A and B are shown apart, each in its own frame.
Chain A
């Protein structure tokens, strides 16, 4: 069986210097994978390159054994927050409906079915009572949840989420993780960029340590070791008791 995601020798550059060097990993179906690494490690770049949003220098990207084409509708995406005009005249429900555009096709309007799906999706992230709110009148965490709902409604096989927990309160974070676990149990593959090292082992069954290149990838227990974290973060780690680790806040 082919893995839903196979990356080989991927190199990506913005200007002259490579941001991602010779990246190689594969992710099995029905897994929940965390991508971990310091700021500027190329986590967002990796996702964008896989989605074809930025060109690659070399290498191979395969989604379900084929080069990724957006029209396959296999992939859903939650971008890192803050890339849109929040004052845009649109409601939360409207934003979620945008996730259906790939299914609706050209020249048609979203139908009743799409609206029902979008509302269900808002409900899943606990935002159903905000459906008609203008997006600038939502809090940061609520905006993040709307974007998550938009990805859910895409009904994809593989989901990429770039730091979906930023600005989300603890209760919501737990609810979202439950949601992602449900997706996983349905045989979908979920890849999440994650910053909180303390919850990595709890949330993810697979893990990729990234800092311009892949330090390690695979099952979390094998990958998420103090030694490899040291290598990823270059000594900027502070250790807490009970064997927990976190990134040094100062300096």
Chain B
């Protein structure tokens, strides 16, 4: 207990918490749209495809500057996203096959490069492997501020275009008929999705980042039938997951953050699927039983 108290007082920890909170919020919100657009798996592929970009960024510059690594991750992440869409539209392969192909290819290359980097004699490469499972507590203050700032920016852009994103997700044809630039908006959304994945990988890791994107969104869907509420709830679930995961992983050096964020998100998911008021399984059972009894009683009175 004392240990936690001390830890919370440390300025860096506070920044890390703010960072993962904003990250969870942004990925929960963008994840809601990704889920409804049926692009969850693309988020996963982008996260895995970020690894080779990180390694190449490091190899080219020889230093561990977050900006460079993130630029590398963005480049390979976007490349993967467009490869998937190209393969799905131009070949006979279906989208899920394309995703599988691209994800494993990029991730495989990433692991090969990571092994190479770790054999390199020079440079400060410590912690590069933490990109696999994420290490929020170990982030230096400037990195955390970058992550927090970027997450806040993504949040703002999403809120500004909320109405347009809603329409192109629900009925792209009608959106076109209204004169919305649907292709440009699709491109913008894809860029935001890649961006949130990329800024999240240092804290959550490439393997589990997609879970922070999607799990809060699926959970939120159980609580409401309104998109704006779903987005808010999903953001809150993401933020809670980010913060709790970070707290647990900062208890000791070397505990990865990603798995604990995802475990938290998963617990929230199970609570939602069972008990959520709008669609939870147990809630529905109880509601149905009550309705049945009410109907039976009414019929009894009529007779």
A residues neighboring B (CB under 8 Å): 51-53, 69-71, 73, 75, 77, 79, 83-85, 88-91, 94-95, 98, 101-102, 104, 106-110, 134, 150
Contacts and interface: CB of A to CB of B under 8 A. Distances in A.
B10 interface: no
Interface residues of B, number: 23
Contacts of B227: 88-90, 94
Interface string B2-28: 000000000000000000000000000
A217 B193 CA distance: 49
Nearest to A52: B176
B174 interface: yes
A88 B163 CA distance: 14
The 8 closest A-B pairs by CB, nearest first: A70-B179, A134-B225, A71-B179, A102-B178, A77-B177, A89-B227, A84-B171, A89-B230
Given A94-B226, A109-B163, A88 B179 contact: no
A95, A98, A104: residue with the most chain B Cβ atoms closer than 10 Å:
A98
Given A88-B170, A101-B163, A104-B163, A70 B177 contact: yes
Contacts of B180: 70, 101
A65 to B, nearest CB: 19
B25 to A, nearest CB: 19
B36 to A, nearest CB: 6
Given A71-B179, A79-B174, A98 B167 contact: yes
A234 B245 CA distance: 68
Interface in B224-268: 224-227, 229-230
A101 B178 contact: yes
B93 to A, nearest CB: 19
B230 A88 contact: no
Contacts, number: 68
B48 interface: no
Interface of B: 36, 160, 163-164, 166-167, 169-171, 173-174, 176-180, 221, 224-227, 229-230
B171 A75 contact: no
Contact of A89 (B160, B167, B224): B224
7 contacts: A71-B179, A88-B36, A88-B170, A90-B170, A90-B227, A98-B171, A150-B174
Contacts of B176: 51-53, 70
Contacts of B160: 107
A14 to B, nearest CB: 15
A85 B179 contact: no
A84 B227 CA distance: 15
Given A89-B230, A134-B225, A98 B174 contact: yes
Contacts of B230: 89
A69 B177 CA distance: 9
A85 B224 CA distance: 16
A85 B174 contact: no
A95 B192 CA distance: 25
A83 B173 contact: yes
Contacts of A90: 166, 170, 225-227
Given A88-B169, A90-B227, A98-B167, 13 more contacts: A53-B177, A79-B174, A85-B36, A88-B227, A89-B36, A89-B224, A89-B226, A90-B170, A98-B174, A101-B178, A104-B163, A107-B160, A134-B225
